């Protein structure tokens, strides 16, 4: 039976609520409405208003309240509703959520999850669509994860709720309605591990969140160009799984990083730096990026012009110096 990403997230929340009385779900419109994207649909009806409830429209207050709840022994799961709506809570996240364990020398931890629907693909404008992952990954003390599949949506959210550390959980809005067969048994890889979605020999596509499906489409289309493309889904943006990523790039000798966020200062720059530093002598060409444009998310009819697509990724793969000989250490 096909399960959408939104349904998988709903199932993860339900199972967490069943398994642990300390888990609470709250945020704007997550109660009777079931959330803007219906991720919390029916949870209040089934678990009661003490376990899943609405809050005032005050993101800083939502996160601040969650900090107190986590300090008091609960495991809050809060929803920010939209990516750019989370910015009023940014001070709470960076100054308190990320630093409390360090500030108390390990005496206190914050086992809480901040769910943020993020990125584009739904025709929203800048306050309803943003790719803010670099802000959170730049902040020590936060785990940052993002699912690219419905199965990972379930597995990662269950792991995030169980984590002793605060987790920023980025949910790609455009993939909420994409589905697959999902196994609700938590047999997947650890939360901080990347996975190879498709093996290949010629080039590694490194993607995450909303771009995983696009990378897989590109890998299929690349066969017509004679390229055998490997796809790595990062899953965890912080911490970063150097081992899986660099092993793939060393095998293929080429890499392209794909993300929807703007390119300048974007998360992909960190990935390029790490891959270049660790795989320099195995690279046949510089590591390239395919990113969103350095502009706010545009009006709905223009959005497709800024989001990376199969053609842009294929054009970038074509620039990878296919006629050059790799540099070999000591040669």
Residue 221 CB neighbour total at 10 angstroms:
15
SS3 content of the chain, % helix, strand, coil (to 5): 40, 20, 40
What is the set of active-site residues? Answer: 128
DSSP label of 95: I
Round to whole Å and give the CA distance between 281 and 304.
37
What is each CA distance from 315 to 262, 289, 309, in whole angstroms?
18, 11, 10
Tell me the torsion sign for CA atoms 256, 262, 265, 270.
negative
Query: What are the backbone angles phi and psi of residue 22, rounded to the nearest 5°?
Result: -80, -15
Contact status, residue 324 vs residue 294, Cβ threshold 8 Å: no
């Amino acid at each position: 039976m096909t399960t959408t990403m939104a349904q998988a997230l709903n199932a993860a929340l339900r199972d967490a609520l069943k398994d642990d009385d300390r888990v609470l779900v709250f945020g704007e419109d997550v109660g009777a409405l079931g959330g803007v994207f219906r991720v919390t649909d029916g949870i209040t009806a089934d678990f009661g208003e003490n376990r899943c409830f609405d809050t005032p429209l005050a993101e800083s207050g939502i996160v601040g309240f969650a900090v107190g709840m986590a300090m008091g022994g609960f495991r809050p799961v809060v929803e920010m509703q939209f990516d750019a709506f989370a910015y009023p809570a940014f001070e709470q996240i960076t100054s308190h959520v990320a630093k409390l364990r360090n500030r108390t020398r390990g005496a206190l931890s914050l086992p809480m999850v901040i769910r943020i629907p993020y990125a584009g693909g739904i025709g929203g404008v800048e306050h309803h669509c943003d790719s803010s992952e670099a802000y959170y990954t730049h902040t020590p003390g936060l785990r940052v994860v993002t699912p690219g599949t419905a199965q990972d949506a379930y597995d990662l959210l269950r792991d995030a709720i169980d984590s002793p550390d605060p987790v920023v959980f980025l949910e790609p809005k455009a993939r909420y309605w994409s589905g697959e067969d999902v196994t609700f048994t938590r047999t997947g890889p650890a939360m901080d591990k990347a996975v190879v979605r498709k093996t290949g020999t010629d080039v590694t596509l490194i993607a995450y969140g909303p771009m995983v499906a696009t990378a897989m489409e590109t890998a299929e289309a690349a066969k017509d160009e004679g390229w055998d493309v490997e796809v790595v889904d990062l899953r965890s943006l912080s911490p970063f799984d150097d081992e899986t990523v660099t092993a793939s790039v060393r095998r293929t000798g080429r890499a392209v990083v794909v993300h929807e966020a703007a390119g300048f200062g974007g998360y992909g720059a960190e990935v390029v730096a790490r891959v270049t530093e660790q795989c320099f002598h195995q690279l046949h060409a510089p590591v390239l990026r395919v990113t969103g444009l350095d502009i706010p998310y545009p009006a709905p009819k223009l959005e497709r012009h800024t989001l990376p697509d199969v053609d842009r990724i294929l054009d970038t793969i074509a620039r990878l110096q296919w006629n050059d000989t790799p540099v070999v250490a000591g040669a």
